Structure 1
Amino acid sequence: MTLFQRSPQAMSAEVGADVVALHAERGFAFGMEGVTASVWQLLDRPRSLAEIVAGLRLEYDVEEDQCRDEVGALLADLRDEGLIDEVTE
């Protein structure tokens, strides 16, 4: 099973309901709000895509398939930016 977790290189801070994440080595900031900030909060520990989707569906009114597709794309973007890592369990 693949789990997703925040990269040790990523530092973040909450700004109200939003989150700003900074990649220490790359020196860029990534602003997150709404669902994206919720995903980041769920990544406080390693989680599977299914766990993230389940957590979001408790907070938002969204169909499971749509949520899974959109969260999968977001996780790929965050991974490509170096903000999260994938861990195979």
Structure 2
Amino acid sequence: MAQPVKIRKIPQKFLATDIDGELILVHADTGVFFSAKDTGRAIWQAIDRSPAIEDIVQGLRNDYEVAPEECLRSVLAFTDQLVEAGLAEYC
């Protein structure tokens, strides 16, 4: 499969809140809780600024000292989890 180009959240599938710097997500259909701190939270917020994976990676590289390949792997690992959980989709 080719690398995903963009990701978008599926708003009707989750409730989200920030508690003391931790992102808490609740799947609207299943009630399953997810939490993310630090980089995961930063990726979640970056999706709102731009759905392009390339933009998300570049934004994180501006904030964190990380190699491009490592950053891309981390972003895709997190976004894959979001997609698998049904909270987002690649487009």
Return the TM-score normalized by structure 2: 0.86
- Give the paired residue count: 87
Matched, 1:14 2:31: no
Give the match's secondary structure for 1:19. Answer: strand
Preserved contact between residue 5 and residue 45 of structure 1 (Cα < 8 Å): no
Which of the pair is proportionally richer in strand? 1
Q: Give unmatched runs, 5+ long, in structure 1.
A: none
Which of the pair is proportionally richer in helix? 2
Give deviations 1:4-55, integer Å, cap 9, x for gaps: 1111212210112210011101211101001000001112255111011011
Please give the root-mean-square deviation of Cα atoms over the aligned residues, in Å. Answer: 1.5
Letter in 2 for 1:82: G
Return the TM-score normalized by structure 1: 0.88
Structure 1 runs, 4 residues or longer, greater than 2 Å off: none
